[in-house]
Amino acid sequence: MRPRDRMRMFEEKLLPAALRAGIQNCIIDVGVLDIPSVGWAAQAIREFKERFGYPAGCASSNAVYTCKFLKESGSPALEAAAAAIFTLPQTVGASYVFYGPIRNAPWAYAACGMMDAMLGYNGRNLGYGLECETHPLHRIV
């Protein structure tokens, strides 16, 4: 689904149903099916957060673990590709990104931490303060 179609479905069907059910706090998973859809997911995350104000993210790990080519390539090609796939949503402000099995935490956290550091450094240039003293930027600068 294109981002605008996801927004329409959420606004016309899912959100009204959630509100009727008494749900007051939502977290949006924009959905990822394959590698090309990560770009649309990133766009949808930004648009959902801007329009509705709810936390939004995705399981971009779905793109990695359903790609036969990446699974057959193995390490380090899989980790390099996955790092790009996991960090793209961060660049548009994803509230969360699922990275897959816990055994991937060491390299997935390193990739996402590095992206947080770069985004934090850029934010500082734009006049934003870092939220905490343990921000990843403080570990590399």
- For the CA atoms of 135, 59, 33, 35, the dihedral, rounded to the nearest 10 degrees, stands at 30
10 Å CB burial of residue 133 (0-12, 13-18, 19+) is: exposed
Q: How long a stretch of residues is the chain?
A: 141
pLDDT band at residue 56 under the 50/70/90 scheme:
very high
User: Is there a contact between 7 and 47 (Cβ–Cβ < 8 Å)?
Assistant: yes
CA distance 139 to 97: 21
pLDDT over 90 (residue 134): no
What are the strands, taking DSSP E only, across 26-121?
Answer: 28-29, 56-58, 96-97
Which one, of 75, 98, 76, 72, lies nearest residue 85 by Cα? 98
Q: What is the pLDDT of residues 80-94, one digit of tens each?
A: 999 999 999 999 999
Per-residue pLDDT at 130 exceeds 90: no
> What's the mean per-residue pLDDT of the chain?
92
Interatomic CA distance for residues 89 and 7, integer angstroms: 17
Would the pLDDT of 24 be above 90? Answer: no
- Give the pLDDT score at 18: 95
- Each domain of the chain, given as residue ranges in start order, spans 3-102
CA pair distance 36, 62, nearest whole angstrom: 11
Owner of token pair 């959630």: 18
